[in-house]
Chains A and B, each alone.
Chain A
């Protein structure tokens, strides 16, 4: 445990150092504190605007969760179809790869028109499209990149297709699916907040950030940015915790439990 603390010490010191320089140093250097307010000022804004920010957080958070559920759910379904039928896979996987090179956020104005900008459904749709592809691609990988020897073993046991799926492919895919989920959580928060830059109710983090920055109330904008960052990390950490619970055998656990036994 003490080794762990020592390992984290340098980065913790950096954190404190940056905060101190930010708080006291910037004023001394005469940097535009207007655009980059001191941490205490941002915290004050956070308290001051607590009501509105809480509503905005709930609103944007609901977009993230809703979009994640739809996008990841559909992604997993599509992945099972793609893993089962080579024809489906060869038709759809190139789409998944192409989708990762496309600025999907540019679709935000379109979903605003379909679902109206005031509706959370609009951002949920963007988040769903953003998260669908990494989830699908990773799940397909997990379902198909199975140790060939394990497949031989299953064949030797005369296992049925269903048994191979349940006892080999799905457990094999779970770590990949969590990788997809972790990527998806990050994208989801970005998708919801940036999607709101194209319109939405004022009590939404993205709309709030943009309108406060536009009106030179940078302390307010920063407070909302802080929340958005916390939300991103929060969902990411949730995904990691879920992974630990679901995958007790997984590599990230091995380090914690120590070295393997000798003979």
Chain B
């Protein structure tokens, strides 16, 4: 029955084949990208001497699509080259500038993440203990998922004055909601019979929390941490936009988009750096999860 077993991905291809498939998708993206430029991009000319052989090649695409022009869609090799060329004239190479900016944004996101995660976990514990507080505040936690409160970023930035603090706060704000929701679910996730067992041993509330609720919540918390890690990075980048923090990735995105025409590849390189930062943060959480919980929990869904 080919095609039926879509549910059982464990029976799918080997790891190597799957990696190759992901690579194939990436290659396809590159081919479409450069293919579009070949067909509808700007004309280019290769004029050089390689190993004593003179090369003189000219390519004039048959169509002219604005979206495939060198300004809108630089050649991939130009973007890659932008990482080693100076970011600003006579300055450091771009990869160094971007790495420093990424570390700067990472610190903001990390502070925000830690604050948000602690707050989220704390709220979860409080709500589990008090039905009244949960009933009073939980609707707002849920509603806030639907509210684009990140839109108040410009005001937070002005309110707190200190740009760095405000960015970390925005980041924390985006972090704490997923953690609260998951913590609440996780703290209640233990087997009901286990709760009965603890009650039968006359365990205190605190013992129930540390020995039953928290351990049972760990896999749920990590699901939230993965979501939050990405959100914290987004929050840090968005937070940098309105206050002109030039040291971070967000600031560089804004800056390079303002000077886009003089070097479109710089914006692309910066956006790629932002993507890598997000992947690295989520990857770090996933790695921590694997090291800390390996083999002890079954997987839970978000």
Contact A102 B7 (CB under 8 A): no
Q: Contacts of A59 on B, CB cut-off 8 Å? A: none
In the complex, B238 has a CB within 8 A of chain A? yes
In the complex, B139 has a CB within 8 A of chain A? yes
Q: Contacts of B1 on A, CB cut-off 8 Å? A: 155
* A65 → B minimal CB distance (Å): 15
Contact A190 B150 (CB under 8 A): yes
In the complex, B140 has a CB within 8 A of chain A? yes
Which of A67-75, A193-201, A241-249 contacts the other chain?
A193-201
Within 8 A of B (CB), among A56-107: 83-84, 86-87, 89-92, 94-95, 98, 100-103, 105-107
In the complex, A14 has a CB within 8 A of chain B? yes
In the complex, A152 Cα to B230 Cα: how many Å? Answer: 39
Closest to A190 in B: B148
Closest to B273 in A: A106
Contact A209 B151 (CB under 8 A): yes
Contact B146 A236 (CB under 8 A): yes
Contact A113 B71 (CB under 8 A): yes
Given contacts A94-B22, A155-B4, A193-B148, is CB(A35)–CB(B159) below 8 Å? yes
In the complex, A86 Cα to B158 Cα: how many Å? Answer: 50
Within 8 A of B (CB), among A1-44: 7-8, 10-11, 13-14, 32, 35-36
Q: Which of A110, A144, A198 contacts B268 (CB 8 A)?
A: A110
Contact A10 B135 (CB under 8 A): yes
Q: Contacts of B277 on A, CB cut-off 8 Å? A: 103
Contact count band on B:
35 or more
* A164 → B minimal CB distance (Å): 7
Contact B12 A90 (CB under 8 A): yes
Contact B148 A102 (CB under 8 A): no
Contact A109 B267 (CB under 8 A): yes
Contact A87 B21 (CB under 8 A): yes
Contact count band on A:
35 or more
Closest to B17 in A: A90
Contact A105 B238 (CB under 8 A): yes
In the complex, A113 Cα to B266 Cα: how many Å? Answer: 14
Contact A103 B237 (CB under 8 A): yes
Contact B155 A218 (CB under 8 A): yes
Given contacts A106-B253, A225-B151, is CB(A92)–CB(B25) below 8 Å? yes
In the complex, A221 has a CB within 8 A of chain B? yes
Contact B147 A229 (CB under 8 A): yes
Contact B234 A105 (CB under 8 A): yes
Q: Which of B135, B267, B271 contacts A11 (CB 8 A)?
A: B135
For A86, A197, A210, the residue with the greatest tally of chain B CB atoms inside 10 Å of its CB is A86
In the complex, B136 has a CB within 8 A of chain A? yes
In the complex, A47 has a CB within 8 A of chain B? no
Q: Contacts of A222 on B, CB cut-off 8 Å? A: 155
In the complex, B43 has a CB within 8 A of chain A? no
Q: Contacts of A144 on B, CB cut-off 8 Å? A: 6-7, 9
* B283 → A minimal CB distance (Å): 8
Closest to A227 in B: B151
Within 8 A of B (CB), among A216-255: 218, 221-222, 225, 228-229, 231-233, 235-237
* B164 → A minimal CB distance (Å): 18
Contact B12 A186 (CB under 8 A): no
Chain B 233-270 interface 0/1 with A at a Cβ cutoff of 8 Å (1 = within): 11001100110000001100110110010001001101
Q: Contacts of B71 on A, CB cut-off 8 Å? A: 113
Contact A213 B281 (CB under 8 A): no
Contact A109 B253 (CB under 8 A): yes
Closest to A32 in B: B159
Q: Contacts of B233 on A, CB cut-off 8 Å? A: 101, 103
In the complex, B229 has a CB within 8 A of chain A? yes
Closest to B257 in A: A109
Closest to A144 in B: B6
In the complex, B84 has a CB within 8 A of chain A? no
9 closest Cβ pairs, A-B complex:
A109-B257, A10-B136, A236-B146, A101-B282, A91-B21, A213-B154, A190-B148, A102-B275, A101-B230
Known: A7-B135, A35-B155, A213-B242. 4 other contacts (CB 8 A): A84-B3, A84-B6, A105-B234, A109-B254
24 contacts between A and B (CB under 8 A): A10-B132, A32-B159, A90-B13, A91-B25, A92-B25, A103-B238, A103-B274, A105-B238, A106-B270, A109-B254, A109-B257, A109-B267, A110-B271, A113-B71, A161-B4, A189-B148, A210-B154, A213-B158, A213-B242, A221-B154, A231-B148, A233-B147, A235-B146, A236-B146
